């Protein structure tokens, strides 16, 4: 897009120079009026291309921002799910440890009752 802008600016410069040279030397114009019109047309086409590309760039930027927002929401959701799962695993481990302690106590009680 930068090259289009540079090309447009260059053509504008040519148009302005040719227009000024025509007005200063009416007896021997250095640039044909058709050349000036062609240059103006080129400038206009380039300006249209720049506007189209600018709109596309804005659209792509907006889409990118939307995707980033959606992905960030998904990441936060997954992080929450992981935290919840980790908490559940820790609670289950604590329950298992209590059950194991209870079984060990029961075995000791049974062993002491046998003797």
What angle separates helix 2-24 from helix 33-114, to the nearest 10 degrees? 160
Q: What is the pLDDT of residue 2?
A: 74
- Residues 8 and 43: beta-carbon distance below 8 Å: yes
Query: pLDDT 10s digit of each residue in the chain, 115 long?
Result: 778 788 778 777 777 766 655 555 555 556 688 888 888 899 899 999 999 999 999 999 999 999 999 999 999 999 999 999 999 999 999 999 999 999 999 999 998 888 7
Q: What is the pLDDT of residue 15?
A: 72
Q: What is the pLDDT of residue 49?
A: 92
CA–CA distance, 5 with 9 (Å, rounded to integer): 6
Cβ count near 66 (within 10 Å): 10
């Amino acid at each position: 897009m930068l090259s289009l802008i540079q090309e447009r600016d260059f053509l504008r410069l040519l148009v302005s120079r040719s227009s000024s040279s025509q007005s200063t030397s009416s007896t021997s114009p250095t640039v044909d009026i058709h050349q000036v019109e062609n240059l103006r047309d080129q400038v206009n086409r380039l300006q249209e291309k720049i506007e189209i590309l600018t709109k596309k760039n804005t659209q792509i930027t907006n889409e990118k921002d939307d995707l980033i927002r959606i992905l960030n929401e998904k990441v936060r959701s997954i992080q929450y799910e992981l935290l919840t799962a980790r908490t559940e695993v820790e609670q289950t481990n604590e329950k298992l440890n209590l059950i194991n302690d209870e079984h060990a106590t029961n075995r000791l009680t049974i062993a002491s009752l046998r003797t």
